[in-house]
Amino acid sequence: MASKFFLVFLILAIIAVRSHAGSISIYWGQNAKEGTLSDTCSTGKFDYVNIAFLPVFGNGQTPALDLDDHCNPSVSGCTNLTTDIRSCQNKGVKVMLSIGGGDGSYFLTSTEDAKQVAQYLWDNYLGGNSSSRPFGDAVLDGIDFDIEGGTRDHWDELARFLKGYPSPKKVYLTAAPQCPFPDAWMGGELSTGLFDYVWVQFYNNYCEYTGNITQLKDTWDQWTTKIRATKIFLGLPAAPTAANNGYIPSNVLISDVLPPLKNSTMYGGVMLWSKYYDDLTGYSSSIKSHV
């Protein structure tokens, strides 16, 4: 009888551990030395890949994709990624297009502007139709909002328009706000419940980890209790050189940082910037089994 109770206890413990298991999200596209998109997904380490970036759109501008030297959208398009995207999706990896970024020219000036940008994204990257789809007929899983400038208005309308298209498969919306709460650019929009995953950038800001978990945990608690999303991720640089500050050595992340964060039911895992820097350090490999 005792052995049966022990078996039940063990099963429940395993379920509890798995319920707190997280995923790793990675940004890809800003350094040609980071390998192919297909190779990134083939590692088995990432559940979400954000193709970065579409840094020009809105306010009547012609949208422009910038993927470093992976491809030249203005000359030959990026249809070489069509097979890679499908390969990722066949492995269960969700592939998003990240719009915005730290450098770019992006604005939403009105509701109509948001509607037009949404139509462009739908027709060229999601389930719509266009004669000039940069990734050919590959259909991405969603759009990632990495809004770090431009305007502070109409992002919720863009999100609603994107969610409003009839689609045979779910359209994911994700976001990468800065850690100070609320986010300076998308504070209100992130409270709408329109976003599935929010990977908060805990770097290049005062709320990053500096050796004392209290400050980071206090900020984390704000995000996980006040934002309506499916899951919240801890966003980190994958190498000391990937950001001005905020890098956490993997052993410190595993022993000191992740355990208190994983107590939250909103915990989703870790987001890393970026694949290139992760290749330099092997960061994702060292944390994968602990996330």
- Positions marked active-site: 148
In degrees, to the nearest 5, what angle opens at C-alpha 71 toward C-alphas 66 and 72?
Answer: 70
**CA 260, CA 217: separation in Å to the nearest integer?**
8
**CA 271, CA 268: separation in Å to the nearest integer?**
9
Which among 232, 238, 176, 227 has a CA at the least distance from the CA of 201?
A: 176
Which among 55, 57, 50 has a CA at the least distance from the CA of 29?
A: 50
Q: Are 145 and 176 contacting, i.e. CB atoms less than 8 angstroms apart?
A: yes
Instruction: Write the CB contacts of 76 (distance below 8 Å, at least 6 apart in sequence).
Output: none
